[in-house]
Structure 1
Amino acid sequence: MGILTDAQTLVTYVDNLKAAGASIAVTNTTKDLPASAGIFCDQYEEWQPGIEYKYKQPIRYQGMAYQVQQKHVSQAHQPPDSEGMLAIYTPYPAPDRNMVYPYTYGMRVEIGMKELDPNGKTYTAIQGMAAQLNPPSELPAIFKEEAQ
C-alpha cells in the first residue's frame, strides 16, 4: 500500500517541478533557455499559424519544444520544424529517461549533455554549442563517444 502512495507522491512532485520549470521559462524574456528546457515541452503553448509570438517565448510544436528567436506572426507554411526556420525557432528536444537527448538539427548543447547520434551511439558534449547543425559523430571537437 505504501508503495502506491509513494509512487503517486513522486509523480505529483515531478509534475509540480515540470510546471514550475515551464513557468520560469515562460517568464524569461531576454535569455536563451537551458538546453534541458525540452523536458517542459508539454507545459508550453502549442504553436499555431497567425499568432504573434514574442521574443524568447517557449512554444511546442508536434511534441518538440522551441524558443522563438524573433518577434513575428507565425505563418502556416513556415512551422518551427521547416527548413530555414532556425533564425526564428530554436529546437529543444526532450531527453529520454536516461537523460540522453536525440540529435535534433539546430538544437542547443551544453557541456555534459548526452546525445544519441543517428548511428545509434551515445556521445557526451565536451563543449557547448548555440546551434548544433551536424550529428555528434561528425563533431569530435565538441563530442566524445561513450564506451559501449
Structure 2
Amino acid sequence: MNIIKRTIDNSYVIEKNGMPYHVPNEGEFTAEWAEINAYAEERPDEVTLEEPYVPTEEEIAEAEKAQAKREADALIAAKSRANMVQTMSFTSAEFSLLAKAELFPVWTAGETYPQGRRIQHEGIVYEVVSADGVTAQEHQPPSAEGMLAVYRPLSVDPETGTEPDGTQDNPYIFIYGMDVEKDSYYSYNGKLYKAETDMPACVWPPDTEGLWQWTEVTEMA
C-alpha cells in the first residue's frame, strides 16, 4: 500500500479504487485512520511524509503586497462611503434606508460631534446643526425635548416599514423637529395633512389648532 502522511494535519492519503483517498483523524474517519496509522507504524518504508509547502521569499512578499492592496482598497471604499453619506443630499426615505444599513455612526454619550455631522439614534438619522458642535450627554439624546437647536432629524420613524415620498398616497410620518417641506403631505395621529409652507425644525404638530401652515386633508385625490 502506498501511504502518504500529511504532516500539516496528521492525516493520511491512500489509494482506494484507483483514486487518492483522504483520511483525516476526525469524525467518521477516526476508526479508519487508526487502522491506517497502525499499518503505517508497522511498515514505515511504505509511508511517504508530505511536508507542508514552504513559500519562497518572493511568494511571501507578493502575498503580503496583495493582502495590503485588498486592505487598502477596502479602507478607501469605507472612507469614501463614510464621506458620501455625510455630505450628499438624500430624501427622507433614503436617509431611513441608510440608517437601516447602519452607515451612520451611532450617537454615543461622551463623543464630540462637529456641526454638520450626521449620526443615527434609535433608527433615525440626525444632523448636528449647532454652530459649536456638541459633546453628547447621556440625558440629552437627539430625540429629547428641547434639542432641536443641536440635532435635526433627517429621516422618518423606522417602525413604519415604509419609504414615503411625501405624496398624498405615500405621506411622510411627522416627527417633532423635522424640516417640513411646502406642498408635501404628512401623516400624524391617524390623519393626513398638507404643509402650506416650508417649516424648518418644525415644532408645530399638524393638528395644532388655528395653525394656517397645516391643512387637514379630508378628501383623497
Amino acid at match of 2:173: P
Query: What residue number does 1:102 align with?
Result: 173
Aligned residue type for 1:106 = G
State the Cα distance separating 1:61 from its structure 2 match.
0.2
Length-normalised TM-score, structure 2: 0.48
CA contact (8 A) 1:59 1:65 kept: yes
Matched, 1:41 2:41: no
Q: Name the CA distance, whole Å, in 2 between partners of 1:75 and 1:109.
A: 27
Is 1:137–2:195 an aligned residue pair? no
Q: Does the 8 A contact of 1:126 with 1:144 survive in 2?
A: yes
CA 1:128–1:112: 2 relative to 1, 3 Å? same
Q: Distance in 2 between matches of 1:131 and 1:52?
A: 22
Sequence identity, in percent? 30
Counterpart selection for 2:188 from 112, 117, 129 = 117
Where does 1:1-148 land on structure 2 (aligned, <5 Å)?
Answer: 24-27=84-87, 36=92, 38-39=95-96, 40-42=98-100, 43-70=103-130, 71-94=133-156, 96-99=162-165, 100-118=171-189, 120-138=190-208, 140-146=211-217, 147-148=219-220
Deviations 1:44-90 (A, max 9, x none): 21111111101011110001111101212111121111122111111
Counterparts in 2 of 1:25 and 1:113: CA distance versus 1, 3 Å: farther
Using CA pairs under 8 Å that are at least 6 residues apart, name the structure with larger relative contact order, 1 or 2. Answer: 1
Cα RMSD for the two superposed structures? 2.7
Counterpart residue number, 1:11: none
The number of residue pairs the alignment matches comes to 124
Kindly state the Cα deviation for residue 144 of structure 1 after the two structures are TM-superposed.
Answer: 2.4
SS in 2 for 1:129: coil
Give the C-alpha shift of residue 137 in structure 1.
2.4
Whole-angstrom CA distance in 1 between matches of 2:207 and 2:129: 27
1:115-146 CA distance string (max 9 Å, x none) = 1112x111122211112112112264222222
Provide the C-alpha distance between the structure 2 equivalents of 1:98 and 1:128, rounded to a whole number of angstroms: 18
Please say which structure displays the higher CA radius of gyration: 2
Q: What's the secondary structure of 2:201's corresponding residue?
A: strand
Distance 2:148 2:214 in 1: 22
SS in 1 for 2:107: coil
> Counterpart amino acid of 2:151?
Y
Q: TM-score, normalised by structure 1?
A: 0.69
